[in-house]
Chain A
Amino acid sequence: MIPLLVALPLLFAFLTLLLNAFRVRDGLRRALFVLGILSPWPIFAASISQLPVSTVVGGWERISGIEVALNDYNYYFVLGELIVFSLVGLYSVGYFGAERTAGHPERDFTSPYIFSLLLLLHGGILGAFVSSDLFNFYVYMELASLSSIVLVACSREPGSRRAAYRYLMLYLLSSFFFIFAIGIIYVKTGYLNLHLIQQNLVPSQEVHMAVALMAVSLMTKAGIFPLHFWLPGAHSKADTPVSAVLSGIVVKVPLYGMILLLSYLHLEFMKNPLLVIAFSSMFFGIAMALLQDDAKKLLAYHTVSQMGFVLLGVATLDVDAAIFYAFAHALFKSGLFLGVGVLVSAQNTKSLDLLSYRGDKMVMAAIIFLSLAIGGISPFIGAFCKQQLLSNLHGFGVYLFYMAGVGTLVSFIKLNYKVLQPTKEALSLPALEKIIAAALAALTLIFGIYFYPQLDHRDIILILLAVALFFALRHVGLFRRQIPRFFEPTVRDLGREINLYTGVYVLVNLAVLFQLLY
């Protein structure tokens, strides 16, 4: 059953591509796309009654076959993926419609392929989540990320190709190190299946080195602070539905890899470096988001920060906290991207000074709800996850954690404050896209009440503190400050940029590896 979860979206991706070759009408292609996006649901629904399930594809032995499983580790990842992808799929049917193909249909090479690419992405992500085999995980992660790189490059936004190139380069670099580390594990244990690796693993310096290399590669792919360079550009330049999927789900795939490392291989020896990286990512993301004027870039920097929160769960060796935070982040971040995206495409600007949701109550409510959810305010899902993360921290860490929470709130108060400004003309937003953003907001509330049905009075103090801090920072003039540009938009500077990032990647790798020598 479980292999079909991956096979069906891939089959539909293939069919939409085939229809493309036969020049079939647009309507049929869209119908196939929606069918492909929704196709894993029945299989998922049929499998959840008998959790945990695992099968080896095609009836082979465990040693020679590829094992796929649906268990406690990936259940919420798959559920979040299906929820987000179904809603984003419906959103993109309208989004990649008339407005894109109008103009120059004969020069438009990308539009016919977008639906196939989205389905490939869907299948790739699901495949990475269900596989309990290190190499298979790598292959599906590669499939997912290559299709997302192409989707970023398909965007009409100026600078999107450049962002996609940067994404591609860092992605390939980290992939090489990841596959090298898988090779080391294979040499040391003789298996690629995670259960068999776990049984046969003898901890040694080489294994530790391999795990450290894998962890750094996965952090690069997840866009965590010292290695985040590709993320803000790629996530903010992509089309709205693509941004929502990238920030909501695609960055969760490497984090799921970290969870696999933590639960099947040993990650305990990297606890301290991971803690430092997690906290620095949280604060760096917030600091950069506070300085942004571009609405989508603000959200993208918050992804850097929120990935730090998920990594904090991994660093405190609490798998559940990391899983639930990843699930929650998938819901609220994709909702925020879609909600802000509705405004961006209606008002044709991304600048926070010009965007406005005044005059449309549904989008307004959705964005406010989702901002509260990302800030961890209590009836929403964020509160439950923050509570779980907090239970593992003590001493100084608790204060840092609360500071990061307040920082996130300040940044989202800034977003809402700026977007609250009155508009000159009346807003007319597409109904379906509004409803989808509102549905994700409602889901954060529903899951929040389902997981953690209580109100926390300390949240009011946090909100008041954040409001005070926001007005203080506004008074100081922080939000009017321009960020200096280090690189010009030329090819030569793009090369310099990539060189610099490669240098940083190597330095982080070396720092983590030297730490192992002690």
Chain B
Amino acid sequence: MEVKMSPIVRKSAKLVSPFLVTYGAYLIVHGHINPGGGFQGGVILAVSVILLITSHGYTLIEKKFSITMVQVLESASLLSLILVAVSGLAAGFFFYNYLRGGVPGTLFSGGTVVWLNILIGFEVGAAFTLLFYVLLRGAESD
């Protein structure tokens, strides 16, 4: 089931997806002061890959972002998320924010929340990409 879109679609998908990555990264990093956050940003990261898959086809994109890499990224970010949460135990509570500081409302005031947001972003992005891969793989074998 290899769909090859027209050059216009392929070119514009290539042009749009870097901006999507930037937007997703912005949403993730500013998660603690703006609307948005890890999940929303992660979905947009996944969309940037899914856009390329739909325009360029599964096989080409799978070479760049291999399914093993996506699986490892997904698992690794989840594992680090748990590690950050557990490291809070050393300071008192599970999930305790022991890096608090800075002026509230600015970018560097989140403490561990920023790290959690970033890891959630990677986790969600990788998980959605993986879902899309698995569904496509099922469709191709039919």
* CB atoms of B141 and A60 under 8 A apart: no
* CB atoms of B93 and A59 under 8 A apart: yes
A36-68 interface bits toward B, Cβ cutoff 8 Å, 1 = contact, 0 = none = 000000000000000000000111100000000
* CB atoms of B141 and A107 under 8 A apart: yes
Which residues of chain A are near B79, meaning CB under 8 Å?
14, 18
B80-101 interface bits toward A, Cβ cutoff 8 Å, 1 = contact, 0 = none = 0000000011001111100000
Chain B count of residues within 8 A CB distance of the other chain: 17
> How far, in whole Å, are A352 and B94 apart by their CA atoms in the complex?
54
With contacts A14-B78, A58-B94 known, is A109 near B137, CB below 8 A?
yes
B11-24 interface bits toward A, Cβ cutoff 8 Å, 1 = contact, 0 = none = 00000000000000
With contacts A14-B78, A58-B94 known, is A21 near B68, CB below 8 A?
yes
The A contact surface, by secondary structure, is helix
* CB atoms of A109 and B134 under 8 A apart: yes
Which residues of chain B are near A57, meaning CB under 8 Å?
94
> How far, in whole Å, are A383 and B33 apart by their CA atoms in the complex?
62
> How far, in whole Å, are A59 and B72 apart by their CA atoms in the complex?
32
Q: How large is the interface on A (under 10, 10 to 19, 20 to 34, 35 or more residues)?
A: 10 to 19
> How far, in whole Å, are A372 and B88 apart by their CA atoms in the complex?
53
Which residues of chain B are near A17, meaning CB under 8 Å?
75
A70-111 interface bits toward B, Cβ cutoff 8 Å, 1 = contact, 0 = none = 000000000000000000000000000000000000010100
> How far, in whole Å, are A23 and B138 apart by their CA atoms in the complex?
19
Which residues of chain A are near B141, meaning CB under 8 Å?
107
- Name the residue of chain B whose CB is nearest to the CB of A19: B75
In the assembled complex, the CB of A13 is this many whole angstroms from the nearest CB of chain B, namely: 11
> How far, in whole Å, are A18 and B93 apart by their CA atoms in the complex?
28
Query: In this complex, which of B78, B92, B94 has the most chain A Cβ atoms within 10 angstroms of its Cβ?
Result: B94
In the assembled complex, the CB of A23 is this many whole angstroms from the nearest CB of chain B, namely: 8
Q: Which of A1-38 contact B (CB under 8 A)?
A: 14, 17-18, 20-23
- Name the residue of chain B whose CB is nearest to the CB of A58: B94
> How far, in whole Å, are A157 and B32 apart by their CA atoms in the complex?
48
In the assembled complex, the CB of A92 is this many whole angstroms from the nearest CB of chain B, namely: 23
Which residues of chain A are near B78, meaning CB under 8 Å?
14
> How far, in whole Å, are A58 and B89 apart by their CA atoms in the complex?
7
> How far, in whole Å, are A107 and B140 apart by their CA atoms in the complex?
11
In the assembled complex, the CB of A131 is this many whole angstroms from the nearest CB of chain B, namely: 15
* CB atoms of A59 and B89 under 8 A apart: yes
> How far, in whole Å, are A56 and B85 apart by their CA atoms in the complex?
15
* CB atoms of B138 and A60 under 8 A apart: no
In the assembled complex, the CB of B94 is this many whole angstroms from the nearest CB of chain A, namely: 2
- Name the residue of chain A whose CB is nearest to the CB of B95: A58
In the assembled complex, the CB of A517 is this many whole angstroms from the nearest CB of chain B, namely: 42
B71 interface residue, CB < 8 Å from A?
yes
Q: Which of A153-183 contact B (CB under 8 A)?
A: none
* CB atoms of A59 and B94 under 8 A apart: yes
> How far, in whole Å, are A165 and B94 apart by their CA atoms in the complex?
37
* CB atoms of B75 and A109 under 8 A apart: no
Q: Which of B44-94 contact A (CB under 8 A)?
A: 68, 71-72, 75, 78-79, 88-89, 92-94
* CB atoms of A14 and B94 under 8 A apart: no
> How far, in whole Å, are A18 and B89 apart by their CA atoms in the complex?
25
* CB atoms of A18 and B94 under 8 A apart: no
Interface residues of A, Cβ cutoff 8 Å to B: 14, 17-18, 20-23, 57-60, 107, 109
In the complex, 14 of the A-B residue pairs with CB atoms within 8 angstroms, ordered by the A residue number, are: A14-B75, A18-B79, A20-B71, A21-B71, A21-B72, A22-B68, A22-B72, A58-B88, A58-B89, A58-B96, A59-B89, A59-B92, A60-B93, A107-B141
Sample of 6 more A-B contacts, CB < 8 Å, known A14-B78, A60-B93: A18-B71, A21-B71, A22-B68, A22-B72, A57-B94, A58-B96
